[in-house]
Amino acid sequence: MPLLLFVLLICPPGLGFIYLWEGYPLVLCGAQVFSALLLVLIYRAGINSARKNHASLAEVGGMVYLPLKVNLVLYFLVGIPVIWFYAANAMVLMIAYGAGCLGFCFAYLSGLTFMARSVKP
């Protein structure tokens, strides 16, 4: 459910924000930091939701957050140079934002897959 909310409620306003603030790299970097905070909240909500559904997942530790950490590192290592060099090109920024959203979706699903495989019968 949190992933569906991300796709329906976070991604379209993000694209609109890029369209409105094209050419302002500092504002776009601030939006990237805010978006990263939302990604962390959505990921945690999905993990907590999965923990509520299975009692044996309570002991799953920090390994579950590894896909999110890798995703956020790539999000900033690739995202900030793209913003600074292509701040005036909305098409490149929107494609990069879409790639970042797709990467988060894969990280989210890999975290849930890790949790599903760690369920003890």
Residue 55 pLDDT: 66
Contacts of 50 (CB under 8 A, 6+ apart): 57, 112, 115, 116
23 conformational bin, left if phi > 0, alpha if psi -120 to 50, beta if neither:
left
Per residue in 18-76, pLDDT tens?
A: 888 888 999 999 999 999 999 999 998 888 887 777 766 656 667 788 888 999 999 89
pLDDT tops 70 at residue 4: yes
Per residue in 83-118, pLDDT tens?
A: 999 988 989 999 999 999 999 999 999 888 887 777
In a domain, 35, yes or no: yes
In a domain, 59, yes or no: yes
In a domain, 121, yes or no: no
Residue 33 pLDDT: 92
Domain that holds residue 20: 2-116
In a domain, 22, yes or no: yes
Tokens 């796709």 label which residue? 7
What is the distance between the alpha carbons of residues 109 and 7, in angstroms, rounded to a whole number? 13
In a domain, 98, yes or no: yes
In a domain, 8, yes or no: yes
